[in-house]
Amino acid sequence: MDIQGRKLIKIATAGSVDDGKSTLIGRLLYDTKSLTTDKIEAIERSSRQRGYDYLDFSLATDGLVAEREQGITIDVAHIYFNTEKTNFIVADTPGHVEYTRNMVTGASTSNVAIILIDARKGVIEQTYRHFFISNLLRISHVVVAINKMDLVGYDEDIYLKIKADFDALVEKSDFRQEQITFIPVSALKGENIARKSEHMPWYLGNTLLDHLEILEPADLQESTVARFPIQYVIRPKTEAYHDFRGFSGKLYGGSLKVGDAVTVLPSGNESTIKSIHFFDQELEEAAPGSSIAITLATEVDCSRGDMIVKSGFVPKSEKTLSATICQVNSKALRVGGKYILQHGINRVLAKVDQIESRIHTDFTGTEEAEQLKLNDIGRVHFRLSKPIHFDSYHDNKSNGSFILIDEGSYDTVSVGFIE
Amino acid sequence: MSNLFIPNPKEAESIHILREVAAQFERPVLLFSGGKDSITLVRLAQKAFFPAKIPFPLLHVDTGHNFPETIEFRDKLVSELGLELIVRNVQDSIDQGKVREERGRYASRNTLQTTTLLDAIEEFKFDACIGGARRDEEKARAKERVFSVRDDFGQWDEKNQRPELFDMLNGKIHVGQNVRVFPISNWTELDVWEYIKTENIEIPSIYFAHKREVFFRDGMIWTANEHVYREQTELVEEKMVRFRTVGDMTCTAAVLSEAVTLDDVVAEIRDSTISERGARIDDKRSEAAMETRKKVGYF
């Protein structure tokens, strides 16, 4: 539950330039009454200045001066709105060819993706890429919003043709049919966004907003086994808590409870959970996603970067790994390159042993590659200075992903999904 | 399974971020304005490190134009929680000739704070400054990272920001750089108010409706006070008002309100049709006001 007791749904939006993505988001904000009068006034003012005879909702989301000047979105923006029952966070990611990294970034924190298609253009190369990334990141649910239906006379045949083309893509992916929903909309006119469109009686499904509201965050979350990476050791050294050693961190994958037999990695030492703390409360059991502190029944050597797991459910601990890499920096990834690999909160050194292939983001296979450039996706083998304790991305997203940090600039240059 | 603790995802995320700050940086500091957002940060930091004390000091950049209620509240909070408080004054920066006081109708010390802040960062060699900014406040802030790297001059390079993937935070920096950290990036104004209500967090009295000497200008309600420039034609009246954000008297407008309890305030926010920053005089200067200030190191 979110702060107000509403459920929290995180959405990434993807679309090409001019597909009307910002307009769609502006429309969602407007229809959920999330735009305040001063913001609406600002939009009206700017729209008038630009000589439009309609409200340009994209002005509500395009934040930076450069974007307003060029009329395109160049970075991930986060937008918040809510309905009675649900809080939404939208990561608005740009659709420019060169900005794959932004969609990967936005999608990494989202459990739903909205892929926009311009009804006049149908499924294009960009659509392939957006869907490919949704598939790579194992987004739980994809909404295909076929936009600008007003410009094609609300024609059902056009909708069906696009749906059939997209279904052909779904077959090439790991998605199941029930994870994909198609909705014909006009963001500009508000058709099938919050209001059911009178122009498309042939569409029997939910409006976009109704559909987003019925999604349950629990169904959108993975449930696997507990992984508890230690962030920070809490040692109060006060009289009341003289011997307190709390291992604090965020719990992923599954729940932990008092009395659970646990193993500490990398030492392999075994112990039992003595207590679980959240501020001044003592908990019996904590669900995944909790930021808690744990004490163990026995004195065990344990520090930042170590991991507490349930005994019998240990992850792999290895000094080599293979991963799908997406390059998010203009500096290319090369064989022999050395990086700081950050896996969750743990850092080790990593060396690129081999770049096996570059993966075509249109589901057409792979090719040989000597380097991975910005926005490239490829299969890479690494050697590590120390073992890390990982799962495959398929089994556990948070324990199966990492970033690479450049040793010189300290920039985040790649994101990896472990196989 | 009846006693399974289900986390509030935004609170859990903020605690995660605060612990990363304590672990990744040598000299973090929490920028404390006395406003509701930084007060919320203090509560989250308490939760992150309990039963230990918050492992970093608070820094207040005092413009000298704060509401006295805010300062009183700040000192009480600090002493109750046993926190370390550092205060640096904009007046000192003015006296040292580093910045020049603005004059005239819209004079404010709001932009002058940046110099005092950057000097304090240098003086104490702070490598991480934790702030209560939220992405929903303003559209340039919607693009801000959780860990936002600033160069030696405190500047924000918005086009070359490090991508933030999943909840992995990269706080690696070079000597002279520092990171601005925004643990409640993903909270909305309503989230903060609801949280203050559920957690029963104390806040300064100026957030509640009270009688105050004010005057009207440009459709906004200004505090009548020696620090605020006022034309002779601008008449002072006593009104029931409250503040939605707490900044300087010179840049924070009041709203007419009868909300005297937290419940009233939350109800008022929920029904409000003017955004929080709509009552910030500093943002009205131009469409790009916030972005321009951020680029040069403003919080």
Q: Is residue A3 scored above 90 in pLDDT? A: no
Query: Quick one: angle between helices A100-108 and A125-136, nearest 10?
Result: 40
Give the lowest-confidence range in A190-194, A320-324, B94-98.
B94-98
Mean pLDDT of B56-78: 93
Would you call A255 an interface residue with chain B, using a CB distance cutoff of 8 Å? Answer: yes
Find out whether the peptide bond into B183 is cis, omega within 30 degrees of 0.
no
Buried b (16+ CB within 10 A) or exposed e, A99-109: bbbbbbbbbbb
A348 pLDDT tier (thresholds 50, 70, 90):
very high
How many CB pairs below 8 Å do chains A and B form together?
198
How far apart CA B32 and CA B55 sit, in angstroms, is 15
How far apart CA A257 and CA A150 sit, in angstroms, is 54
Two tokens, residue A137: 């990141």
Burial of A240 (0-12, 13-18, 19+ CB in 10 A): exposed
Q: For A115-138, how does the pLDDT look when each residue is reduced to its tens digit (9 = 90+)?
A: 999 999 999 988 998 999 999 999
Q: For B30-51, how does the pLDDT look when each residue is reduced to its tens digit (9 = 90+)?
A: 999 999 999 999 999 999 999 9
Q: Is residue A389 scored above 60 in pLDDT? A: yes
- Give the pLDDT confidence score for residue B79 in this predicted structure: 95
How far apart CA A343 and CA B146 sit, in angstroms, is 18
B187 phi/psi in degrees, rounded to 5 = -90, 150
- Give the pLDDT confidence score for residue B226 in this predicted structure: 83
- Give the pLDDT confidence score for residue B285 in this predicted structure: 47
In chain A, which residues have their Cβ closer than 8 Å to the Cβ of B163? Answer: 76, 101-102, 104-105, 328, 412, 415
B283 phi/psi in degrees, rounded to 5 = -80, -20
- Give the pLDDT confidence score for residue A218 in this predicted structure: 67
Give the lowest-confidence range in B16-25, B203-212, B244-253.
B244-253
Residues paired with A143 in a beta bridge? A114, A181
**% of chain B residues with pLDDT over 70:** 90
Would you call B200 an interface residue with chain A, using a CB distance cutoff of 8 Å? Answer: no
Query: Which of the pair, A1 or A412, is modelled with greater confidence?
Result: A412
Residue A408: CA count within 13 A, CB half-sphere: 3
A350 pLDDT tier (thresholds 50, 70, 90):
very high
How far apart CA A215 and CA A83 sit, in angstroms, is 13
ipTM of this model? 0.93
- Give the pLDDT confidence score for residue A238 in this predicted structure: 85
Buried b (16+ CB within 10 A) or exposed e, B115-153: bbbbbbbeeeebbbbbbbbbbbbbbbbbbbbbbbbbeee
Q: For A53-80, how does the pLDDT look when each residue is reduced to its tens digit (9 = 90+)?
A: 777 777 666 554 555 555 555 578 888 8
Q: Is residue A318 scored above 80 in pLDDT? A: yes
Two tokens, residue A372: 């991975």
Of A36, A102, A246, the CB nearest to B272: A36
Of B10, B23, B143, the CB nearest to A304: B23
What residues of chain A, 270 to 299, have a C-beta less than 8 Å from chain B?
276-281, 283-287, 289-293
Mean pLDDT of B65-88: 94
| Contact criterion met (CB below 8 Å) for B121 and B153 | no
Q: For A352-374, how does the pLDDT look when each residue is reduced to its tens digit (9 = 90+)?
A: 999 999 999 889 999 999 999 99
- Give the pLDDT confidence score for residue B273 in this predicted structure: 57
Q: For A276-309, how does the pLDDT look when each residue is reduced to its tens digit (9 = 90+)?
A: 999 999 999 999 999 999 999 999 989 999 999 9
Q: Is residue B1 scored above 50 in pLDDT? A: no
Mean pLDDT of A223-231: 92
Q: For A73-111, how does the pLDDT look when each residue is reduced to its tens digit (9 = 90+)?
A: 557 888 889 888 899 999 987 766 557 888 899 999 999
What residues of chain B, 25 to 84, have a C-beta less than 8 Å from chain A?
46-53
Residues paired with A269 in a beta bridge? A264
Mean pLDDT of A317-327: 97
Give the lowest-confidence range in A46-55, A248-257, A319-328, A339-348.
A46-55
Query: Which of the pair, A356 or B66, is modelled with greater confidence?
Result: A356
- Give the pLDDT confidence score for residue A74 in this predicted structure: 59
The distance of B22 to chain A (nearest Cα, Å) reads 8
How far apart CA B259 and CA B265 sit, in angstroms, is 5
Q: How many CB atoms lie within 10 A of CB B256?
A: 11
Q: Is residue B291 scored above 60 in pLDDT? A: no
Mean pLDDT of A375-388: 96
Q: Is residue B14 scored above 80 in pLDDT? A: yes
Please judge whether A398 and B166 are an interchain contact, meaning their C-beta atoms are less than 8 angstroms apart: yes
| Contact criterion met (CB below 8 Å) for A399 and A315 | yes
The pTM of the full predicted model, rounded to 2 decimals, is 0.92
A37 pLDDT tier (thresholds 50, 70, 90):
confident
- Give the pLDDT confidence score for residue B42 in this predicted structure: 98
B155 phi/psi in degrees, rounded to 5 = -85, 150
A265 pLDDT tier (thresholds 50, 70, 90):
very high
**% of chain A residues with pLDDT over 70:** 92
Identify from B42, B81, B168, B197 which residue to disrupt to test chain A contact, counting A C-beta atoms within 10 A and taking the largest count: B168
- Give the pLDDT confidence score for residue A93 in this predicted structure: 79
Mean pLDDT for chain B overall:
87
Mean pLDDT for chain A overall:
90
Q: What is the DSSP letter of A252?
A: B
**% of chain B residues with pLDDT over 90:** 57
